[in-house]
Each structure stands twice: as C-alpha cells, then as structure tokens.
Structure 1
Amino acid sequence: MMTRLLLGRSLSALATALIPTTLTLAVLGATGSAETLGLVLACELLPLLLCLPVAGVLADRWPPQRVVLVADLVRCSAQAAIGVELLAGVDRMLDLGVLSAVTGVAIAFGMPAVPRLVVAVAPREQRLRMNARIGVATSLSSVLAPALAGGVVLLAGPGWAALLTAVLFACSAVTLGGIRTAANPERAGGQPRGAFGKELAAGWREVKGRPWFVASVLGHGVWHFTAGLFLTLGPLIALTRLGGEASWVLIVQSGTVGLVLGVFAAPRLPVRRPLVAVQVAAALYLLPLAALAVPLPAWGIAAAYAVAMFGLGVLSPLWETAVAEEIPEAALGRVRSFDGLISFASRPFGLMVAAPLAGVTGTTGLLLAGAVLVAAANLAAIVRIPAARPLGAPRR
C-alpha cells in the first residue's frame, strides 16, 4: 500500500504542477493579456482559500482515500473540459475561469485528506521516510512539469497538455482511491450530519489549544510572504544589476538543487527536536533576502538561495511527520486545513505587494526588513515548542 501511495501522490503532484504552465500558455496565447491571466489564476486560488476550512471537516469525517479519489476525479474532469474546449478552438476566458475555480475547490478538499492518508497507510516509524519520498516526487515535479507542459504546448497545443493533465489525475484517482485503510476508531459509525458546525469549531479549538502550532504556522506564513517578495524582486534585480536573465536562471536552479538535496537529507539527519529544526530551517530564508538586498554577485545569491531551499527541503517532511504525531488523527484534516490556509494566502499576497512596497521603501530596505521578519517570526516560535519526543516514538 505504501508503494501505491507514493505512486499516486507522484502522479497527482506532476499533474498539479502541469496546470499553471498550461493555463499560462493557453491564456497568453489566446489573449496576450497579463491581466486576464491573473484573473484566471485567481479563479483557482480564491475558491481554494474559501473552501479549506470546510474541506478540513470532511477530511476528518470521511475515509481519506475516498476524499482524495473524488478530488482527483473532479480535477480530472475539469482539466479534460479545458482540453476539449482548447482543442475545439473556443478559448472562452469565462469558461477557463469557471473550470479553474472547480479545480481550486477540488484541491481544497483533497489537500487536508493527504496527511490522514499517510498516517493511515505508513507505520509510525516509516512516516518520515514516506513524507520525504513524497517530497522528492513533489520537488522533481515542480522542476519537470514546466518543461513538459511547455514541450507539449509547442508540439501539439495547450489542449493536449490539459488532456495529459486529466489523464494523470485519472491515474492518481485510481491508484489512491484503491488504497485500503483501517477504519478510524474515533470515526466508527459515521458522524451525525448536524454536527458539522460543532466539528468545525472543535477543529479550531484543536488549533488554538496548541500555541506551538499557531506560532509555527504563522512563522511559515511569513516565510511564504517573504518568498513572494524574493520571487518578485529577484528577477528585476537580476535583469538590472546582475547581468541579465542568465543570473536569475542560475539562482533559481541552485534553489531547486538545494530543495531536492534537503528532501533527500531529511530522513537521514540525526534530528532530536524536529519541530525546532523546522523553525530554524524556515529562518534560513533570511540568507537569500539579505544577499539580494546588497546585492551580492549572482553566484553569492545562488549559494544563499540553495542553502535556504535546502532548509525548505528538510522542513517539509519533518513538519508533515511531526504534526501527524502531535495532532490526534481524528482532527488532523481540520488542523492541517488551517496550516494550508495561511500558506496559500501568504505567498500570493507577497507577490502582489512586493512592487508597491518596494516603490515606497526601496528594494534594499524591503528585502532587509523581510530577512529580519522571517528570522524573527520563525525563531520566536521555538520557545513555544513542547519537549522533544523522537519521531516514531509511541505517545506517552
């Protein structure tokens, strides 16, 4: 079952990573308008954010493999509809926006169910390794997908790229939907339908009752916000002060290498306090922000970004595993939906406000402020982290 879980998550990650490039090329090819592209992409993000709290309740109420199955089938249908429309030469932006919104809703409902699926399938002592393998698949997908989608679009058109995405989601649905898991004893017998609001409130109490989780998630939200600043201002500085596009490509590719190496290293590091390691890893993002503020030569920024992304690679599987061990399984979907809400909202906000803020403060001041903020927010959370318990150890 663990092999099936890894295969299904790999297929889903690749399909998810294909969507932005396919949509971008389809919309720009049809309209040439960056504003229209922004609206279509926002049509996916806004429903995702609105639906996440509800999705967390359903992820805890129903078997996770069924939730993931339905979510992937909906995404498959939406991408197939986009592909058929593009192949028919219709190119109606309203249709693409509606289908992107459907995709966003499906992402929202599938996302909080995944941690529960990992918990249900992987034994406690193997969860870190499983989360690391899923992290490797996700990282590689983020690297390969733009090239794959771009190649298919150039050779056959964006319609076929959308249909390829639909096929991958269908394969993911069949793979993950067929996983058999033991029934959750806390959910045996089902839940009364009238308890939905109470379950939503109970999920918030689970979050609020863990100050370490709230502080950590807020720190991660700051990380995503400052990543938005870096990814907006970085290309501009590279073009104007670092010698052009090649310098930015060097920086980005160095970060990708660091990310993959970090994910590989995570289960092999002798980490005694995983939650502390997570916060220190997040604080490392101060390095590329400060390097870009100076700015250092391109190779210096690339090295700093590689270290920061190595930290992200270590952070992700450690966080997934540690949270699954600290949060009761019956509440895991609701708690993780809060985590996802903060993360998904913060980065677009950083992307949106980077240029206006830089116009007021200057790029150097904004980047240095971001460096201080990301380090302070994540290191401050350490004081709220509970005493260490080795990953995989039974709960006391």
Structure 2
Amino acid sequence: MQAPVVPSPPLVGFRRLLVGRTLSVLATCLIPTALTLAVIHATGSAADLGLVLACELIPQLVLLPVGGVLADRLPPQRVAFAADLVRGLVQLAIGVELLLGVVNITHLSLLSVITGAAVAIGTPTVSPLVTAVVPAHARLRANSHLGTARGIALVAGPGIVGVMVITIGVGWSFVLTAALFVVAAATVGGLKVTRHERPAGNSGFLKDLAEGWQVVRAHRWFWTNLIGHGISNLTAGVLMTLGPLVALRELGGDASWVITYQCGMVGMLIGAYLAPRLPVSRPLVATSLGGAVFALPLLTFAVPAPTAVNAAAYFVAMLGLGVLNTVWQTVMQQRFEPHTLARADSYDALLSFAARPLGLSLAAPVAATTGNATVLVAAAVLVGASSLGLLALREVRTMGFLTAKEPDERPVPATADEH
C-alpha cells in the first residue's frame, strides 16, 4: 500500500505558528536545567529544588481544564500571546534577581506558581490554532512539522542552556529565555485566524467547564485512549527514574544513559517526521501500537541489556511516541467540534502532566522493596497490555482519518479575527 500524499499546510499562517511554537517550546526546554542550577548554586538543597518544581506543576494540574475553557471561549492566539508573555516576564524577573545576587526561594516558588498557571492556560491553545490556520487535509503534515520542531528543541535544549550557563551565567540565560518567550508571544499573537462560531446561547464559564468533561465522557474512543496515554506517561516516569540508576550501577556509568536517552530523542524526532509519510489507514491502531512499543526499553533495562540494545529499544519506543503524538493530535482535531477542541485537549494534557510525575515519585521507593527488575517488568506489562487492550474497541480498530467528503467533518461558519 502506498503512503497517502498529504499536501503541505499553507505557508503564511502556519509558518508563523510554527516559528512561534518552536520558540516557545525551546524556551520551555531551557527552564528546568537553568532553574535546577540556579537553586543548587543558591542553596544546594534538594528540598528547595523539589519545592520550586512542585510550585510549577501543581497549578498546571489544577488549571488545565480552565485553560481549555478560555481557549474555547476566546480567540486562541490572544490566550497564547498572554500565556507566553507572562512566562517571559517571569523568566526576566528570575534572571534579574539572579544577576543582582539575591536568590530567594520564596520568590522563586511564587514565580514558579505563575509560570505553571501560564503553562496551563497556554497549552490547550495549540490544537485550536492548528485548526484555525490549517485546512483539514493538511493537518497531519502540520502536526508533523510541529512535532519535529518540538523534538529538535528537546534534543538541543539541554545543550544550549549548558553553553549559556558556562559562557554568560545562569542569570543571563534566564534573560535570554525571557526574550524567546516574548518573541514567541508576538509571533503567535499576531496570527490572523479563522474564528469558529460558538453555538447560539450565552453559556457561563462554569457551564462550559462542566461541558468539557461531558464532551470527554461522550467519546469512548477518546477517554479510553487517555487512560492508555496516562499509563504510558506513568511508565515513562518509571524509566526516567530507574534507567539512569541501572546505567550508573550496572552498565558502566552516566555515558550509558546519555547515549540511550539521546537515541530516544532522535527516535521521537524521526517518528514525528515520518508520521504523515506512513501508510496509516487506521490511526488509532497506529497510536495503540506506538504506545505498546514503550515496553521494549523497560524490558531491556530490566535484564539489563548492553547499552547498544537499550539505546536501540529506546529509539524504537520514542519513534513510536513520535508517530503516536502526531497522529493523535490530528485525530482529535478532526473528531471534535472546533468550539470544544481546547477543552478536550486540556484533559489530554492533564492526564499526561499528572501521570509522569507519579511514575517518577513511585518508581524508586517501590524498587527499593521489590528490586529494579520487578518494577521495570511490571511497567512493561502494564503499558503493553493497556495500549494493545485498546484494540478490543471496535471504534479504535475501524476509525479512519476523515476526508473533506465525509459528513462527520461538517463545515463550521467562521469569521475573520485578526488580533
């Protein structure tokens, strides 16, 4: 079967979205390393670092559904502009404080709370922006471009922040990160998009919030896949905790894990690139298989296998994840009404944001009792069974990509909203 020919998205609006999102993702990838170094240099306390990181995560978990409502009610480019601008100002404040030599953990914690809130508000805007600037037939390729850019940022981010810290210092690295967010905000905020009309009637904010949950519950294929994706993220947290420990203790040191991890990042990048070029006729079958292959590195680290085998397994796993993310976003953008898409996307992000930290926090304590191999094998069985188990659902096995001629993809009246 030949791969489908997928036209490229229109250049003007999408190019602007791609640049803005790439800058925002890159800036996001710079923060964890820089923030970790800032706290360690200031106090050397793991407890302080945990507090600052928790202060960013908790608002994300609480406010993501709120962000979904805002992105469905308001022009998404305005919401994205505000979120990136706030994050830029926060990073600038941290940078100035570090340059002045005044590092206050309370200040960093409060600023991290604001950052987490901005992440929660901005995250659900991505899919509405894609549907607003890219026609339906080109969204798979558009999501591939966005996923590839994200993969490049994940690979390059730690190296970039390392160079910045060494050459100009951690304070100036935050200032430059702030500049990236401000440029990203201006780029996305200036998008001219097609505004989808909401249904008639004046629904309140709380009603829209409740409706978001009802929309999720109404689509069995969606909420069952969310559970599968959550389990996948949980097991990813297990691997991120135990993988480095196994590499350090049994595979010769840090280099083993660094090689494995970088191979995985390259795999994810390639998976995102290949997704629209593969002959995928049943997208949810592809996403289920893409999730199941994450069992491979969990099993190889349980042995543990040599570094080359672990690296190959992680490459395949992350390649599957790259395909999964690209195809999944496209399916969501096709199957949800435009005025509910951001709310659906917010629950997708919520489960992912919550599950990985849970895996990170549980893996080491459980492994201390049962052993690393037991936890890794259990995680492999869990992610494999949950992903492949989705194939038992008829809609998962039969659902295809919609085409312009299919009745489910109804035209939606639209008006131009320039800013």
TM > 0.5 fold call: yes
* Partner of residue 18, structure 2: 6
Counterparts of 1:294 and 1:46 in 2: how far apart (Å)? 35
* Partner of residue 312, structure 1: 321
> Which blocks of at least 5 consecutive residues in structure 2 are unaligned?
1-12, 408-419
* Partner of residue 302, structure 1: 311
* Partner of residue 96, structure 1: 108
* Alpha carbons of structure 1 residues 364 and 393: separation in structure 2 relative to 1, 3 Å: farther
Indicate conservation of the 8 Å contact 1:61/1:187, yes or no: no
* Partner of residue 285, structure 2: 276
User: Are residue 328 (structure 1) and residue 328 (structure 2) matched?
Assistant: no
Selected match of 2:136 from 88, 110, 124: 124
* Partner of residue 204, structure 2: 195
Counterparts of 1:341 and 1:388 in 2: how far apart (Å)? 24
After TM superposition, give the deviation of residue 187 of structure 1 in Å: 5.7
Indicate conservation of the 8 Å contact 2:155/2:266, yes or no: no
* Partner of residue 126, structure 2: 114
User: Are residue 169 (structure 1) and residue 178 (structure 2) matched?
Assistant: no
* Identity percentage of aligned residues: 50
Counterparts of 2:348 and 2:124 in 1: how far apart (Å)? 9
The letter for the 2-side match of 1:222 is I
User: Are residue 150 (structure 1) and residue 159 (structure 2) matched?
Assistant: no
Selected match of 2:391 from 366, 382, 388: 382
Pairing of 1:203-218 with structure 2 (within 5 A):
203-218=212-227
Indicate conservation of the 8 Å contact 1:69/1:173, yes or no: yes
Indicate conservation of the 8 Å contact 1:275/1:385, yes or no: no
Deviations 1:100-150 (A, max 9, x none): 111110010000111100010011111111111111111111111111111
Give the TM-score normalised by the residue count of structure 2: 0.92
Indicate conservation of the 8 Å contact 2:331/2:401, yes or no: no
* Alpha carbons of structure 1 residues 6 and 227: separation in structure 2 relative to 1, 3 Å: same
Counterparts of 2:394 and 2:162 in 1: how far apart (Å)? 44
* Partner of residue 253, structure 2: 244
User: Are residue 39 (structure 1) and residue 51 (structure 2) matched?
Assistant: yes
* Partner of residue 90, structure 2: 78
Indicate conservation of the 8 Å contact 1:126/1:392, yes or no: no
Counterparts of 1:218 and 1:334 in 2: how far apart (Å)? 17
* Partner of residue 338, structure 1: 347
Counterparts of 1:171 and 1:371 in 2: how far apart (Å)? 41
Counterparts of 2:278 and 2:388 in 1: how far apart (Å)? 20
Indicate conservation of the 8 Å contact 1:215/1:384, yes or no: no
Counterparts of 1:382 and 1:333 in 2: how far apart (Å)? 26
SS in 2 for 1:183: strand
SS in 2 for 1:66: helix
After TM superposition, give the deviation of residue 392 of structure 1 in Å: 4.4
Give the TM-score normalised by the residue count of structure 1: 0.97
Deviations 1:237-286 (A, max 9, x none): 11111111111112111111211111111110010011110111011001
After TM superposition, give the deviation of residue 390 of structure 1 in Å: 2.6
Counterparts of 2:43 and 2:144 in 1: how far apart (Å)? 40
Q: How many residues were matched structurally?
A: 393
The letter for the 2-side match of 1:20 is P
* Alpha carbons of structure 1 residues 84 and 354: separation in structure 2 relative to 1, 3 Å: same
* Alpha carbons of structure 1 residues 111 and 392: separation in structure 2 relative to 1, 3 Å: farther
* Partner of residue 287, structure 1: 296
* Partner of residue 159, structure 1: 171
SS in 2 for 1:182: strand
* Partner of residue 265, structure 1: 274
Counterparts of 1:142 and 1:129 in 2: how far apart (Å)? 20
Indicate conservation of the 8 Å contact 1:47/1:104, yes or no: yes
Selected match of 1:363 from 361, 372, 391: 372
Counterparts of 2:208 and 2:229 in 1: how far apart (Å)? 25
* Partner of residue 417, structure 2: none
Deviations 1:149-198 (A, max 9, x none): 1111112211111111110011011110010112212268xx74x61111
Deviations 1:1-27 (A, max 9, x none): 111111111111111111111101111
* Partner of residue 223, structure 1: 232
SS in 1 for 2:193: coil
SS in 2 for 1:324: helix
Counterparts of 1:214 and 1:356 in 2: how far apart (Å)? 30
Indicate conservation of the 8 Å contact 1:255/1:306, yes or no: yes
Counterparts of 1:346 and 1:174 in 2: how far apart (Å)? 32
Counterparts of 1:257 and 1:20 in 2: how far apart (Å)? 20
After TM superposition, give the deviation of residue 388 of structure 1 in Å: 2.5
Counterparts of 1:326 and 1:144 in 2: how far apart (Å)? 33
User: Are residue 55 (structure 1) and residue 67 (structure 2) matched?
Assistant: yes
> Which blocks of at least 5 consecutive residues in structure 1 are unaligned?
none
The letter for the 2-side match of 1:179 is L
* Partner of residue 10, structure 2: none
Flag the structure with higher helix content: 1
* Partner of residue 413, structure 2: none
User: Are residue 232 (structure 1) and residue 241 (structure 2) matched?
Assistant: yes
Deviations 1:41-76 (A, max 9, x none): 111000111111111111110011011011111111
